[in-house]
Chains A and B, each alone.
Chain A
């Protein structure tokens, strides 16, 4: 995405927002300028801290899920025996909306960071695991044969073939899951906690009808989502440059 297009998109959205705010003419929907002012005002007053807390939680979840799901997916993808054992379990667990476990997780891990990180990890883990496993299984045998014929054993195959082959798929899974991760974070932070953007929006702002502040929180959450999107984009360009070359 070019920077100019991104700016244009932001200005168009802000324009549409301003128009809607003017039409609705209610304190429930303040205009973008008022929200931006509130945002600047609120950042040093606690919004910045809530942003960092939420950002830390979601990044820790992503790192944890990638660190565990990529190797697990690779193992399942290249070992038919392991796959036979685990595939039915994953098949059953994958479609379960993991958010339903939140009350149990809160009971077990408490209301601090651990429960938030764990619930997002749980969601991302299965997404990445399934995609990486599928990708590793889909590798052409000719490619494996030719690298094995160069003297590569299992360890070298993992490092030089399976891992790079599955990076794009893992990042795509991540890109798709980032939105879900933030939505879940918002939900998990909106009760039984004292920090995070969800807490700021629901408890600190919505609860006392401070609409501009509430929208400042929404803006912060959107920035967090956008930032993560940028990071995934950047990782894709750094880790999978061959995906972007032109013929």
Chain B
């Protein structure tokens, strides 16, 4: 069956159990769909399989059975047009902020000649990323003055800005985030959540370095985002759709609609608090 034109992510009858664990499956007959341009939050108790789900989508784990399709294709290995931002430890400690962001450019050049083009299953990153685009993203993320610093010299928030810049430099159409702000203080966390909202709005177009040179826009739809979080407020603020996972095994997708999310002013509205309460009771009643 051909996937729908707008489906960015299709998970069908997914069964996944850790081969090394010998335990019950984390997902058993799980089906879920994400359309292009949507913003999703995945929430659930520790050990429910939130991160596992993200790694399956990222191509870092393979399903025991069933299908995981990204942009209509299976993901036997990581796909360069999927961005992945982790909680921590994602930056190379021996590379400066600039070098960390430019890593995707370096990997692209490393495999020069092998890379395909287009936005489909692209195991190799783009070859056409320029140093100017790196500079552009550093400036957009407000970290251009840290370009020569090493990750060990900057704050957690600045490290995550670096990780976000790096992910966006590869011009992803799917951005996966695994508790990206969990280790940050409350204000920095809110600041970065706001940044994600702003970037979602902006990244439907083109990277800052490219637009400066008047390059053709190569994406029309906004980036699809899936953020895994254990924080109810974060899920409500960022997820227009919230997938609530339960203790393993997860057999069905429990989705809470939250259409007002992913707007800058949402946090100050009464509906935001109502939705937080609704999500909290939905999670505790299960």
Q: Which residues of B contact A242 (CB under 8 A)?
A: 93-95, 150, 152
Q: Which residues of A contact B95 (CB under 8 A)?
A: 164, 242
How far in angstroms is the closest Cβ of chain B from A66? 18
A152 touching B58, Cβ below 8 Å = no
A151 touching B153, Cβ below 8 Å = no
Counting CB contacts under 8 A, is B88 at the interface? yes
Chain B interface helix/strand/loop/mixed:
loop
Counting CB contacts under 8 A, is B90 at the interface? yes
How far in angstroms is the closest Cβ of chain A from B163? 7
Counting CB contacts under 8 A, is A150 at the interface? yes
Q: How many residues of A contact B (CB 8 A)?
A: 25
Residue of B nearest to A140 (CB): B89
Interface segment, A111-119, A130-138, A141-149, A206-214?
A: A141-149
Q: Which residues of B contact A164 (CB under 8 A)?
A: 92, 94-95
A146 touching B163, Cβ below 8 Å = yes
Q: Which residues of A contact B90 (CB under 8 A)?
A: 142-143, 145-146
Counting CB contacts under 8 A, is B72 at the interface? no
Given contacts A151-B123, A245-B152, contact A142 B86 (CB under 8 A): yes
Interface segment, A17-25, A50-58, A155-163, A197-205?
A: A155-163
A247 touching B152, Cβ below 8 Å = yes
- B146-175: which have CB < 8 Å to A? 149-150, 152-153, 163, 166, 170
A151 touching B92, Cβ below 8 Å = no
Q: Which residues of B contact A159 (CB under 8 A)?
A: 110
A145 touching B92, Cβ below 8 Å = no
How far in angstroms is the closest Cβ of chain B from A235? 14
Given contacts A145-B60, A240-B94, contact A151 B84 (CB under 8 A): no
Q: Which residues of B contact A219 (CB under 8 A)?
A: none
Counting CB contacts under 8 A, is B83 at the interface? yes
Counting CB contacts under 8 A, is A64 at the interface? no
Contacting B92 at CB < 8 Å: which of A147, A149, A247? A147
Chain A interface helix/strand/loop/mixed:
helix
Q: Which residues of A contact B78 (CB under 8 A)?
A: 148-151
Complex Cα spacing A160 to B107, Å: 9
Residue-wise interface mask of B (262-285) relative to A, using a CB-CB cutoff of 8 A (1 in contact, 0 not): 000000000000000000000000
How far in angstroms is the closest Cβ of chain B from A124? 23
Q: Which residues of A contact B230 (CB under 8 A)?
A: none
A142 touching B92, Cβ below 8 Å = no
Contacting A153 at CB < 8 Å: which of B55, B60, B123, B166? B123
Q: Which residues of B contact A153 (CB under 8 A)?
A: 77, 111, 123-124
A150 touching B58, Cβ below 8 Å = no
Q: Which residues of B contact A246 (CB under 8 A)?
A: 153
Residue-wise interface mask of A (208-247) relative to B, using a CB-CB cutoff of 8 A (1 in contact, 0 not): 0000000000000000000000000000000010100111
Contacting A160 at CB < 8 Å: which of B93, B103, B149, B170? B103
Counting CB contacts under 8 A, is A165 at the interface? yes
A245 touching B89, Cβ below 8 Å = no
Residue-wise interface mask of B (79-123) relative to A, using a CB-CB cutoff of 8 A (1 in contact, 0 not): 010111111111111110000000110111011000000000011
Q: Which residues of A contact B85 (CB under 8 A)?
A: 146
How far in angstroms is the closest Cβ of chain A from B175? 11
Counting CB contacts under 8 A, is B222 at the interface? no
Query: Please, could you name 9 A-B residue pairs with CB atoms under 8 Å apart, sorted by A?
Result: A145-B60, A146-B86, A149-B59, A149-B84, A151-B170, A153-B77, A156-B111, A242-B93, A245-B153
What are the 5 tightest A-B residue pairs by CB atom distance, in nearest-first order? Answer: A151-B80, A146-B90, A149-B84, A151-B125, A142-B89
- 17 more A-B residue pairs beyond the given contacts A150-B107, A242-B93, A245-B150, with a C-beta to C-beta distance below 8 A: A140-B89, A142-B86, A145-B55, A145-B86, A146-B86, A146-B90, A147-B103, A149-B78, A150-B80, A150-B103, A151-B111, A153-B124, A155-B110, A156-B107, A164-B94, A242-B95, A245-B152
